[in-house]
């Protein structure tokens, strides 16, 4: 059953599509880059949220920026990763949403990002919304509407 079937895009809230925080892989701001790369490789994700020690959202870290830090003049210098921390390369400019935002607001946010983080009113990490979840919901609705015709 599509959530969009009987409702408008603006009526559906993101909490029906989000991945809750307990199911999301993350790293902490003071972790060494070595640990962040391990989490990214083991989880298979291109990027994951970064949280502080109290589980407040801070930003996102991805594989590319870590590999970039490893680049020496002629080869990869993996030892650099134990000397640097996540907070030195974190991307803090990705927009966040709250779980009561609408699917339409979610759609706008994931145009430029494969996922965005959700925070509560105090800034605590609440989960993520992926582009995949939004597209799947819209696709279901397109199919349902085409069968109705």
Residue 23 binding ligand AMP, by CB under 6 A? yes
Task: State phi, psi for 132 to the nearest 5 degrees.
Answer: -60, -45
148 lines the binding site for ligand AMP (CB under 6 A): no
When the beta carbons of 73 and 111 are compared against ligand AMP, the nearer one is 111
144 binds ligand AMP (CB under 6 A): no
User: Is residue 25 part of the contact set for ligand AMP (CB under 6 A)?
Assistant: yes
Decide: residue 71, CB within 10 A, 0-12 exposed, 13-18 middle, 19+ buried: exposed
Q: Which residues contact 108 (CB under 8 A, 6 or more apart)?
A: none
Q: Report how far residue 84's alpha carbon sits from residue 32's, in angstroms, rounded to the nearest whole number.
A: 6
Nearest to residue 48, comparing CAs of 110, 137, 105, 130?
Answer: 130
Q: Which of 12, 24, 61, 90 binds ligand AMP (CB under 6 A)?
A: 24
* Helices and strands in the chain: count of H runs, count of E runs: 5, 7
Told to check if 91 binds ligand AMP by CB under 6 A, we report no
The only residue of 2, 130, 138, 140 in contact with ligand AMP, by rule CB under 6 A: 130
* Subset of 50-89 contacting ligand AMP (CB under 6 A): none
Residue with tokens 């759609």: 107
Name the one range near ligand AMP by CB under 6 A: 18-26, 78-86, 98-106, 139-147: 18-26
- Give the interface with ligand AMP as residue ranges (CB under 6 A): 19, 23-25, 45-48, 114-115, 128, 130-132
């Amino acid at each position: 059953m599509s959530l969009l079937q009987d409702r408008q895009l603006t009526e559906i809230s993101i909490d029906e599509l989000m991945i809750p925080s307990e199911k999301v892989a993350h790293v902490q701001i003071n972790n060494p880059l070595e640990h962040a790369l391990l989490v990214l490789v083991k989880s298979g994700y291109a990027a994951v949220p970064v949280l502080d020690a109290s589980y407040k959202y801070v930003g996102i870290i991805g594989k590319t920026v870590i590999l970039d830090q490893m680049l020496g003049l002629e080869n990869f210098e993996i030892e650099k990763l134990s000397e640097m921390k996540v907070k030195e390369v974190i991307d803090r400019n990705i927009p966040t949403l709250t779980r009561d935002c609408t699917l339409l607001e979610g759609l706008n946010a994931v145009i430029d990002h494969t996922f965005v983080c959700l925070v509560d009113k105090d800034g605590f990490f609440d989960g993520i919304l992926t582009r995949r979840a939004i597209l799947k919901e819209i696709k279901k609705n397109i199919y349902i509407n085409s069968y109705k015709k």
